[in-house]
Amino acid sequence: RLTMADIYQNVRIPTSNDSVYKDECLYSFDSPLSENGLFICMSTFHGVGKDHVARHCHLNPGKNIFLHISRRRIPVPVDPNVEPTRVTKMAIGVEGGFDANGPKRYTFEERYAIYIHPSVIIPYPDQASTLPEHVKQSADAIIAAESAFLKEERALMNTTWNGEIRQESKHAQTLEQLNNGRKIPPNGWKCEQCDLKDNLWLNLTDGAILCGRKFFDGTGGNNHAVDHYYKTRYPLAVKLGTITNKGADVYSYDEDDMDDMVEDPNLAIHLSHWGINMMKMEKTDRSMADLEIEINQKYGEASMIEEANSKLQPLYGAGKLFIETTCI
């Protein structure tokens, strides 16, 4: 007779190094929104739809414990008094494509259970008291984990912007940097014109530290960095908190009639002018890619697409849309 410890012996707690495939079945298009939900193997963290659970267990002997995720979409009534905003966001894995007939907002309700193939269902967390501690920890960690798809998306987004590879700024080789004696500390920054302490941009020409644009949902900054550009025409700014030894978010207010995220191959030199050693910096603020993904998650699926005339570009794969964004 199997003891409870034997049954659950292969259940692992995912770490940040594990990829948790909780968006879509490995073998079909089933997702947590599908009628039967999605089953996440608590050993391999692979997600499978109902029809593929038996196959997964056959291929992975002893790995028959799953976290079942079932998600329901609940439409939120649209307030006709609220202006649709200009800023639109990338939509990851939009199911059924893009609805151009108007913004639809949703909230999501998720239900969980531990499923022991082939026959036992334990509602979670309602009956969590019947489970060993490491199984509860595994379930909680899977629920909290960033999905493998979002991880890949973030990695991709960090080298691209609006689906395009970031281009070298036309100012990168000739950027003027003033010798005004300013040195930027490695942390503890604040906007020079307001009290904001994050979403801050360092102008690479004069070393001014100013806050970013206000986002369409009211978060973000007070536009001090962009206002500074219109006064000075100093074109390049780097987002403080995104600087690491691998690079940083660099924004150009002046790239051939547009403003855009850019590459600055001389970034290390431009930062050292202000006393910043790029090799010693660590990430402390959200990158623009992080923010897009966050907003995407916050507003859910197609709901963040608020402008029917948005430029939609297929990014890759069916149903994965990419929509132009304005950021700082």
* Positions in the binding site for Zn ion (CB under 5 A): 41, 44, 46, 191, 193-194, 196, 211, 222, 224
Closest approach, Cβ 195 to Zn ion, in A, equals 8
Closest approach, Cβ 323 to Zn ion, in A, equals 27
Closest approach, Cβ 222 to Zn ion, in A, equals 4
Toward Zn ion, which CB reaches closer, 52 or 171? 52
Toward Zn ion, which CB reaches closer, 57 or 278? 57
Closest approach, Cβ 205 to Zn ion, in A, equals 18
Q: Which among 155, 135, 152, 133 has a CA at the least distance from the CA of 143? A: 135
Per-residue DSSP letter, 53:
H
Toward Zn ion, which CB reaches closer, 66 or 161? 66
| Pair 168, 256: CB distance under 8 Å | no
Closest approach, Cβ 115 to Zn ion, in A, equals 14
| Pair 250, 242: CB distance under 8 Å | no
Toward Zn ion, which CB reaches closer, 196 or 240? 196
The residue with tokens 């199997």 is 2
CB burial class (10 A; 0-12, 13-18, 19+) of residue 252? buried
What does the alpha-carbon distance between residue 190 and residue 188 come to, in Å, rounded to a whole number? 7
Count CB-CB contacts under 10 A for residue 202: 25
Toward Zn ion, which CB reaches closer, 34 or 167? 34
Count CB-CB contacts under 10 A for residue 35: 8
